[in-house]
Amino acid sequence: MNRSGSPVSVRDVDIRFDDFVAVRQANLDIAGGEFVCLLGPSGCGKSTLLNAIAGFVKPVGGEVTCAGARVTGPDVSRGVVFQSAEALFPWLTVRQNVDFGPRMRGVGKAQRASAVDRYLAMVGLSHSADRFPGQLSGGMRQRAQLARVLANEPSVVLMDEPFGALDAQTRLVMQVELDRIWRETGATIVFVTHDIGEAILLGDRIVTMTAGPSAAIKNVYPCDLPRPRDLTDPASAALFRQLREDIGTEVARTLRAQGLDDGHDGPDARQAAGRPADEDRRTRR
């Protein structure tokens, strides 16, 4: 496997929005080519931490480094894939969207054309290259977004719930495709999700976060199960339960803070952490 991704280091990072402390004392070392999933309850600070790695948000304390250099702002070497495919330019075709970054960077026409073809093929969109984003399905738009980021040949790809808006089947297909693309590119990937199964299918390590405010990194779970992974495999199922307990505690804290829970780690919290409602009903009988 090609391992050309850059290492990323988050050191004692504090992030504030005015008086609001979003993230406190976050520390995380990510190896080059590693796939790390950030998992936590809604609103805990996953996107904020990812945005600090991207350079969109400036920590008030600590630092983020990428390949040993301090991150001071966004850079094409750290590509970002967002949940919403509105990040694509709707007036450009898929090919033109993917070509945009290399063209802005002054890459020559022939080199660009071959890179665009390569990345369109990698994400399975060669046949839709001349369509506009509005003519694509949600899954195809996310593929186009990924190809657009990959065309800049980033050493780090930051993904913020990229499959969150997709239906369950498309999501499964995209997870399998991303696993393959990650191996082909060798990029470091930091992937934000609130979906425990998705984190298990994709991550080399799964990092959980505490509920905010003042969210912190809670636990780091190595996940070296053979790929492609199967969530029904006993080892995956055991990790799922462990992560559900971990996240469930934080979801319960969030619900309590919002006055939506009766003070225990009840069904709302477990359901929000990934347990199907009928499983809860069965357990309670």
Ligand X SMILES: Nc1ncnc2c1ncn2[C@@H]1O[C@H](COP(=O)(O)OP(=O)(O)OP(=O)(O)O)[C@@H](O)[C@H]1O
Contact set for ligand X, span 184-203 (CB under 6 A): 194
Least distance (Å) between residue 46 CB and ligand X: 4
Among 13, 22, 207, 272, binds ligand X (CB under 6 A): 22
Q: For residues 63 and 229, what is the distance between their CA atoms, to the nearest angstrom? A: 34
Least distance (Å) between residue 159 CB and ligand X: 12
Scanning 39-47, 86-94, 144-152, 176-184 for contacts with ligand X by CB under 6 A, the matching segment is: 39-47
Say what angle helices 109-122 and 138-150 make with each other, to 10 degrees. 140
Cis peptide before 226 (omega within 30 of 0): no
User: Does residue 40 belong to the site contacting ligand X (CB under 6 A)?
Assistant: yes
Least distance (Å) between residue 93 CB and ligand X: 30
Among 45, 59, 101, 102, binds ligand X (CB under 6 A): 45
Among 6, 47, 152, 210, binds ligand X (CB under 6 A): 47
Least distance (Å) between residue 53 CB and ligand X: 12
CB-wise, 32 or 61, nearer to ligand X? 61
User: Does residue 254 belong to the site contacting ligand X (CB under 6 A)?
Assistant: no
CB-wise, 187 or 209, nearer to ligand X? 209
The pairing of beta strand 35-39 with beta strand 188-193: parallel
CB-wise, 123 or 272, nearer to ligand X? 272
Q: For residues 25 and 2, what is the distance between their CA atoms, to the nearest angstrom? A: 32
Q: For residues 88 and 142, what is the distance between their CA atoms, to the nearest angstrom? A: 9
Among 7, 32, 43, 124, binds ligand X (CB under 6 A): 43
Per-residue binder mask for ligand X (CB under 6 A), 210-249, x = binder? --x-------------------------------------
Strands of the sheet with 156-160, listed across from one edge: 78-81, 156-160, 188-193, 35-39, 205-209, 217-222
Q: For residues 75 and 216, what is the distance between their CA atoms, to the nearest angstrom? A: 25
User: Does residue 46 belong to the site contacting ligand X (CB under 6 A)?
Assistant: yes
User: Does residue 155 belong to the site contacting ligand X (CB under 6 A)?
Assistant: no
User: Does residue 16 belong to the site contacting ligand X (CB under 6 A)?
Assistant: no
Q: For residues 256 and 247, what is the distance between their CA atoms, to the nearest angstrom? A: 14
Strands annotated E in 59-146: 61-66, 69-70, 78-81
Q: For residues 263 and 245, what is the distance between their CA atoms, to the nearest angstrom? A: 16
Please give the structure tokens belonging to residue 44. 């805990």
Residues that bind ligand X (CB under 6 A): 17, 20, 22, 40, 42-48, 194, 212
